[in-house]
Amino acid sequence: MRKIFFALLVIIFAVNFLHSELNFSGVDKRKFVNVNRIIENRNYFVDKLQVQALYNQFRMGLKFDYYKPHFDKFLLITNDMGDDTIELALESEEDEYYFDEYYLQYESDNWFVQAGTYEAVIGSGIVLHNFYDDDFELDSRLIGGYVNPVYDRWQIQLFSGFMESDNPAPAFEDEYDQIGAFDIDLNIVNNITFGGSYVLHREVIAKDEFNDRTIYAGKLNFSSSPLDFQTEYATSNDDNEVTGTAFYSNFTSYIGKFTLMGAYKNYENFNVRISDLPMVNHAGQQLEHSWDTGKDEEGLMGEIRFLPNYENEFVINYAEGWNNNSKVRLSNLYSEFKHNFEEWSIEAEFELLEQLNKEDANMWYQEITPKLTFDFLIKNSPVLLKAEYQYKEEDKITGNHSHFEPRVQTDIAIGNYSLSVAVENQIGESESAEDGDDGEYWIGGEIATTIFNNTDVRLFYGKEKGGVVCRNGVCKNQAEFDGLRLSVTTTF
Amino acid sequence: MKNIFAILLIAFLFIQLTAFEKAGDFKLENLEGKQIKLSDFQKEGLVILDFWATWCVPCKNGLPKLNELHEKYDSVNVIAINTDKPRKKSAAVSHIKSNKFKFQTLFDPKKVVQKQFNITSIPHTIIIDQDGMIIYDHTGYQRGDEKHYEEVIIKWLKEQETKKLETEVQQN
């Protein structure tokens, strides 16, 4: 007991001593989920606690994750799966707890140094982008060291680290890829920045066995008030003598009330995990769902944006993508008109997406989405009405299927409470596992509020489809869901 | 083991109680590729930090309103921190420049500042005073939220006015 008392005294003394310079902050995200898994309604609980301490120019952070059990939101469970298959799939969801992140950073006027878990990026991400995405549960973060001197005319990134292998085989559970990188940016002339980088990626292929891949890249950026221009080229070679190339370029020109934008991509054998390749289309879609991004593709995109005045905005965007024999293709058209008043606004959007794959699958897919959004105030309470009428058509060896997916959403906020309700229906049959059956409804509602000034509470109940969902003024990438979800986020 | 757990728990609760909401300084790249520090703007008055991305419609709806506040109040600086992936940076630059927004736009591709301010959802708006204290923190944007931001600004301006008067009285 005396030892505990003594330890507490030491902690209190230390914190008080450092109080003027030491700053603690953090966030605790707790989520309780009760989800329909067809054979049973399953309960899940997750707590993600992130704490950081700031002392002068040093910052130390820790993140602890606790799952009981781990909810695999992307685990696709459908009615046509047998009970045994579902049970087997659910067995993979186990209780887990671990330190997800730990780091120490030092930042001065010209130096940024860190050790531990970190995200890294070179240029637009073509060469390297190691990141964590909570919504999609993607994790390519590095554990290692990072040094970044930054001066007016130049900056360097020098880092190395370990990245958890994405090979799902049990033998790779504790195996790591190794990465080392050097990147330099030189701002020799005003508005123009040149850069070059070198990356060594050692991909683990068996215990103590690696496939070494080296990447050399160059980049050029030009920025001015009438024109922005960016271009990047990278070439890679690995132990298997596979040579890859990636070229990405874009320009934006600001001419009075018009903004003109163009982009071009050309990727070959660049379908690797550490690259985050620009898609070069408004929908952000890969060439075709079963086609590896970066394996073999080329594409162009153009956009015209017209803002005649503060109230009106017109956008039209068109993109085409193809592989080297044009058997895999994508086309995407997006247009938007927005009119803003002081107290309300109206936005009309239209999007067409077409994908074709005659290379390794005989399929054609089309998606047409008209959308209308009204946003206004009733006695200081914001109201949002959104309606879309999506049409999907698919032509495969198994036949042609088409269906409509009308969706209506309304959000209203009164005082400290916000309520959002969305109804989506399917008219027509579909073979795709992500879609539902003819006549199926997805009805879901969320109530959100803030308590104690620092705690955000959100309660969702019902069914919703996946994708970017903007509800009660907050946007998230959601996976398909059916059940109850309570999330409580406290910042301190 | 139980004792260690108890110590950690009490220490953690203690840290929560003693934690004061002070914003640490940071440095990020702006539209022109120059490194910008938060502390450079704090000297001028209030700073509104707004975390946004091009794929987030409420975020984009809030930006013109923040630009209005930036232009209306001399002692208020809006800093919009873009959270898009680096491959979408050109779209973010185009959105800011075509709308001719006057506030500072900074890019946080490695999420260092998002972590520093405990950002878990966007849009997220934080108001920081001259002393670096966080005086307002809000997740989401719905039409009319800018009125709450303005209430905070007006309250702060009044406090500054009172402080100034008190100082003048003391000096006289």
pLDDT in tens, B125-157: 999 999 889 999 999 999 989 999 999 999 999
**Tokens (6 digits) for A224:** 């001015």
Residue A262 lies in a domain: yes
pLDDT computed for residue B126 by the predictor: 95
Asked whether the predicted pLDDT for residue A1 surpasses 70, the reply is: no
A377 close contact with B: CB closer than 8 A: yes
pLDDT(A78) > 50: yes
Q: What is the pLDDT of residues A240-298, one digit of tens each?
A: 999 999 999 999 999 999 999 999 999 999 988 999 999 999 988 999 988 999 999 99
Q: Which domains does chain B have, with CATH numbers?
A: 22-171 (3.40.30.10)
Best mutation target among B37, B59, B142 (most A Cβ atoms within 10 Å) is B142
Instruction: Quick: pLDDT tens for A306-318.
Output: 999 888 999 999 9
Contact A418 B6 (CB under 8 A): no
Cβ separation B98–A307 shorter than 8 A: yes
Q: Which residues, in sequence order, are CB contacts of A259 under 8 Å at separation 6+? A: A252, A253, A303, A304, A305, A306, A307, B94, B97, B98
Which token pair is A291? Answer: 């086609």
Within an 8 Å CB–CB cutoff, is residue B97 touching chain A?
yes
What is chain A's mean pLDDT, rounded? 91
- Restricting to A residues 394-433, those with a Cβ less than 8 Å away from any Cβ of B are 411, 413, 418
Under an 8 A CB cutoff, do A193 and B33 touch? yes
Residues A449-486 have pLDDT tens digits of 998 888 999 999 999 988 888 999 888 888 889 999 99
Strands A132-133 and A138-139: antiparallel
pLDDT value at residue A5: 62
The three-class DSSP label of residue B72 is helix
The CATH number given to whatever domain includes residue A230 is: 2.40.160.10
Residue A204: phi, psi to the nearest 5? -70, 125
Query: Which chain A residue shows the shortest CA-CA distance from B134?
Result: A492
Give the distance from residue A366's alpha carbon to the nearest chain B alpha carbon, in angstroms.
22
pLDDT over 80 (residue A18): no
Nearest residue in chain B measured CA to CA from A256:
B98
> Is the Cβ pair B98, A259 closer than 8 Å?
yes
Domain assignment of residue A222, yes or no: yes
Range scoring the smallest mean pLDDT among A53-57, B22-26, B35-39, B163-167 = B22-26
Of the partner residues B11, B56, B111, the one whose CB lies closest to the CB of residue A475: B56
Where residue A22 falls among pLDDT bands split at 50, 70, 90? confident
Rg (CA), chain A: 25
A50·B118 Cβ contact <8 A: yes
Q: A27 and B120: CB-CB below 8 Å? A: yes
User: Which domain, by its residues, includes A190?
Assistant: 108-278
Closest C-alpha among A364, A345, A346 to residue A356: A364
A236 found inside a domain: yes
Partner A contacted by B30 (CB < 8 A):
no
A12 and chain B in contact, CB less than 8 A: yes
CB–CB of B14 and A12 under 8 A?
yes
Task: Give chain A's domain count.
Answer: 1
pLDDT band at B10; cut points 50, 70, 90: low
A4 touches chain B (CB under 8 A): yes
Question: Residue with structure tokens 């708006």?
Answer: B125
Q: Determine whether the interchain pair B27/A150 forms a contact, defined as Cβ–Cβ distance below 8 Å.
A: yes
Q: How far apart, in whole angstroms, are the C-alpha atoms of residue A221 and residue B30?
A: 14
**How confident is the model over A209-222, as a mean pLDDT?**
96
Residue A380 C-alpha from the chain's centroid: 33
**Predicted TM-score of the model (pTM):** 0.90
* Min distance B30 CA to chain A CA atoms (Å): 11
ipTM metric: 0.90
pLDDT, tens digit (0-9, with 9 covering 90-100), for A177-197? 999 999 999 998 888 999 999
A459: in domain: no
CA atoms in the 13 A half-sphere facing the CB of B145: 29
Instruction: Convert the pLDDT of each residue in A114-170 to its tens digit.
Output: 999 999 999 999 999 999 998 888 999 999 999 999 998 999 999 999 999 999 898
Quote the CA–CA distance of B118 and A50 in Å, as a whole number.
8
Instruction: Give me A137's structure tokens.
Output: 């549960």
